[in-house]
Structure 1
Amino acid sequence: MAPEVVDLSRLRELAEYSHAVITKYQDAGGAYPAAPTFSAYKGYAWLRDGSFTAEGISRYGDVPSADRFHDWVDRVLRSRRAQVDDLRAAVTRAETPPDSAMLPTRFTFDGADGSDPWWDFQTDGYGTWLWSVVTHAARHGLDLERWRGGIDVAVDYLVTFWDRPCYDWWEEHVEQRHVSTLGAIHGGLAAIAPYTQVAVRDVAERIRSLVVAEGMHDGHLTKWLGTAAVDGSLPACVVPFGLVSGAAGTATLAAVARDLDADGGVHRFTADVFYGGGQWLLLSALLGWNLAAAGDSAGAWRLLRWIADQATPDGDLPEQVPHHLLHPGSRDEWIARWGTVATPLLWSHGMYLILADELGILSEKA
C-alpha cells in the first residue's frame, strides 16, 4: 500500500476516534467535559471548549450529539436570566458589578457554579457559543428557536459587558481587554445578527473599530489592547470570527507562525509557563484551519499530520506536548500541582475534526 494511502487512513481513523472519545465522555445532560480525568478540569464544562468541540461534532455529522450540547447551554443560560437582568439593571444605575457577580466561564454538568476557586470571569465563551449554535443550525437546516431563550440571555449579557476587561482564553490578565475575547464576541454577535431584534451589528462594528484602533501592531492583531505581543488564539479572529480579513488577517497569521509555531506545534504565548509552555494541539488546528481557508493546503496538511503524531497509542490527544518547552523549569511544579497534562482533551479532538473536515478527509459515520 502506498505511503500516502496509509497516511490518509491513519488520519481518518483518528477522526473516527475523535468522534468516539468526545461522544463517549459527553454527559447525559449534553455537556462536553473539558477533560474526563484531569484533576483541575474533571466535572466541568467550558462554553468556549464545548462550542468548538460541538463544531467538530456537527461537521462530523453527529447532529444529535451537537444538539444535546446546545440544549444544555440553552438550559444553563435560561437559568441565568434573572442574574443577567440584575447585572444589567446595576449598569443602568451606573453601578459596576464585581467580577464575582458575573457569569462563570465553566459550569458543573448540572449548570451550577464550581465549588472551588477559579479565574471565572471570561466573556469569550458566550460569543463562541452564539457563533457555534448559529453555524450548527445553518449547516443542518435547524430552527434556532429551539435555543432562543439561551441565545437571548447571551446576547443581552454581551451587549452590556462586551468592553469590560476580563480573563482571557487562558484564565490570565483579568485587567486587560483581550483581542481574542473581543473577536469571539464579534463573531457571535455577527452570526446572530440576522436572527435577533437587538442592535448587535452596531456593537460588532464598535468592537472592530476598537481593535483596529488599539489592538494592532505592525499590521497584525495583538494579544490585548495596547501591546505588541501576539497570542496563539488570535487566528480565531480571522477564521471563524471574521473580526479582520485581508492584509490584517494575513499579517496576523504570519505573526503567530513566526513567534509561536515551532515545527508544527503552536504555543499559546512566549511568556507561557503552564506545564513549561508546551505546544498546544488545538492551536495548531486553529492555525491550520486558517491556512486551509486561505488556500495554503500544504501548511494545513503539515499541521494536521503534526497533531496526529502527538496522539497516544490509544489515540487520545493531549492538551499540550513538551517537545519544545518555552520555560522548561516551570513544568515540574504544575505536574506536582495537578498531575500530568490533560489527556484526552476533548477540545483538542474537536479541533482535529474541524481541520480534518477543512481538508476534506472527514468521513461522516455518525
Structure 2
Amino acid sequence: MTTTPGVDLDALLDRSRAIITTLQQPNGAYPASPTFSAYRGYCWLRDGAFIADGASAAGEVASASAFFDWCAMVVTRHGSRIDEIVTAAAAGTPLPDDRMLPARFNFDGSLGDEDWWDFQLDGYGTWLWAAAQHASRHSVDLSRWSDAAALTVDYLLSSWQRPCFDWWEEHSEEVHVSTLGCVAAGLSGAADAGLVSGERATRARAGAERVRARIEESGVVGGHLVKWFGSRDVDASLSALIAPLGVIDARSELGAMTLRAVSADLEADGGVHRFRADTFYGGGQWPLLSCFLGLAYAASGDSESARRLLDWAASTASEDGTLPEQVAERLLSPQHQQEWIDRWGPVANPLLWSHAMVLRLAAELSAGRGEVAA
C-alpha cells in the first residue's frame, strides 16, 4: 500500500498498535491522550469504542476485549442510575441533563470531579456497536457483556430523542444526527449480535428503525445529512454513519450526497475539518476525520479517495511516530488558536483515537486488496 513519500506506513501502523496497547490501563480503559491536560486520566466511551474497533481490526483482540470488559464494568457500576433514568422517562418526568450519564469516566469507572460537557448519548451506542463488530470479527464470547448491554439498550431506548452534547461536546440544546447514528448502530448491533435477546432485542431493533426513520425525516437537507435537526450545515462526524457504522448505505443517493457535501465543505487536500464554524485550536484538520471520510469512500467503492485520505492522515505523524488530534494547517479561525493553547497547552499528541482510525482505515484498504494489514 502506498502512502505519502517519506512516511513509512508499516512503521506507523506498528507504532500505532504499540501506543494503543501500552498506554491501555490494566483494567482495559484507554486514555484519550496520556499527557494532554484536559484529557489526562479520563476514558471516553465514544473515543474508546472507536479505538477498540481499530485495535480489533488490526488484530489486537485482547486489547479490544479488555476495553469492552471496562465498558461493562462502568455501566453495571452505574446501573442504579440507569434504572432511575429509565423509570423517570417512562413516567413522563425525565431527569435533568446533570442526572444523565456522562461521556467520560475516570479509569476506575468513577465519575469525574471536574466540570465537563458531559451528557452525550453517542458513546453508549458506539460501545455496543463496537463490541458487536469485535465479536463478529473474532468469534468472541459476548456473554460477559450481556448484563451491561441490557442496561445500555434500556438507557438508549428511554433517552435517544433528547437533545444532548454532540461528539465535540458542543450544542447541548440540539438533536445531533451523528449522535442518532451511533444510537441506531448500537441498538441494531446489540440485537443482531446477541448482546441482548428476547423481548429486549425486539425492542432494540424497533428502536433502531425509529431512529433511522427520524434521521431521514428530520436530519436531511438538500439530499444530504446535516449536523443537527434544523441546520443546513454538515459535520465531518456524519461520515461515520456511512462507515464504519453502516447506518446509511454508502451506495445510496443519501450516502453519495453526504459524501460529496462533507468533502466539498470540509476537506482540503486530504485533511478534514470538523465543521465550518469550528474555533477549537483555530479549527484545524483532524487525521481521525480524514480516516472516517476514507472509510466512507471505501464503502462506496472509491478506494482511490480512501487511500488519498489515509495518506494525508499518515503524513501528520511526528518524527517519533505519534499522531495528533489536529494540525494547524488551513485553520478556519486562526484568531482563536492561541486562546486554547493558553488554556490547555499544545494540541493533544498522541491522541489514541487518531492512531486507531489510521489502523482501521489501513485494515479496510488491505482487506479490500486481499492483504493483511502490516
Same fold, TM exceeding 0.5? yes
1:311 has 2:309 as partner:
no
Q: 1:358 to 1:5 in 2, by over 3 A?
A: closer
Q: How many Å apart are 1:4 and its aligned residue?
A: 5.3
Query: Does residue 1:257 correspond to 2:255, yes or no?
Result: no
Partner of 1:192: 190
| CA deviation map 1:71-129 (0-9, x unaligned) | 01111111111110011111233212011100110000000111100000000001000
Q: Does structure 1 residue 230 correspond to structure 2 residue 230? A: no
Task: Give the superposition deviation at 1:165.
Answer: 0.5
Distance 1:210 1:17, change over 3 A: same
Separation (CA, whole Å) in 2 of partners of 1:91 and 1:343: 40
Equivalent runs, 1:1-366 vs 2, <5 Å: 10-194=8-192, 195=194, 196-197=197-198, 198=200, 199-245=203-249, 246-360=252-366
- CA distance 1:86–1:328, shift in 2 (3 Å): same
Structure 1 runs of 4+ with >3 Å offset? 3-9, 361-365
- 1:80–1:153 Cα contact (<8 Å) kept: no
Residue 222 of structure 1 aligns with an amino acid whose one-letter code is: V
- Comparing 347-356 with 59-68, which one deviates more in the overlay? 59-68
RMSD: 1.6
1:240 Cα deviation after fit: 2.2
The change in CA–CA distance for 1:54 and 1:5 in structure 2 (over 3 A counts) is closer
Contact 1:187-1:240 at 8 Å conserved across structures:
no
8 Å CA contact 1:233–1:268 kept in 2: the answer is yes
Stretch of structure 1 that moved more, 356-365 or 18-27: 356-365
Under a length normalisation based on structure 1, what TM-score does the superposition of the two structures give? 0.96
- Between the aligned residues of both structures, percent identity stands at 51
Q: Secondary structure of the residue that 2:119 maps to in structure 1? A: coil
How far the C-alpha of 1:150 sits from its partner, in A, is: 1.3
Q: TM (normalized to structure 2)?
A: 0.94
Deviation at 1:143, TM superposition (A): 1.4
CA contact (8 A) 1:14 1:308 kept: yes
- Looking at structure 2, the residues matched to 4 and 337 of structure 1 have their Cα atoms a distance apart, in angstroms, of 39
SS of the equivalent of 1:45 reads strand
Question: Could you tell which deviates more after superposition, 127-136 or 356-365?
Answer: 356-365
Q: What amino acid is the match of 2:204?
A: V
Distance 1:5 1:99 in 2: 45
Counterparts of 1:193 and 1:186, CA distance in 2: 11
In the TM superposition, what is the alpha-carbon distance from 1:283 to its structure 2 partner? 0.3
Deviation at 1:173, TM superposition (A): 0.5
Q: Structure 1 residue 9: deviation in Å?
A: 7.9
Separation of aligned partners in 1, 2:325 and 2:162: 28
Unaligned residue ranges in structure 2 (runs of 5+): none
* More divergent stretch after superposition (9-18 vs 148-157): 9-18
Instruction: Flag structure 1 segments of 5+ consecutive residues without an equivalent.
Output: none
Q: Distance in 2 between matches of 1:303 and 1:239?
A: 14
Measured in 2, the distance between the counterparts of 1:212 and 1:58 equals 31
Q: CA deviation at 1:364?
A: 6.1
Question: Could you tell which deviates more after superposition, 198-207 or 326-335?
Answer: 198-207
Across the two proteins, how many residue pairs are aligned to each other?
363
Distance in 2 (alpha carbons) for counterparts of 1:6 and 1:126: 36
SS in 1 for 2:357: helix
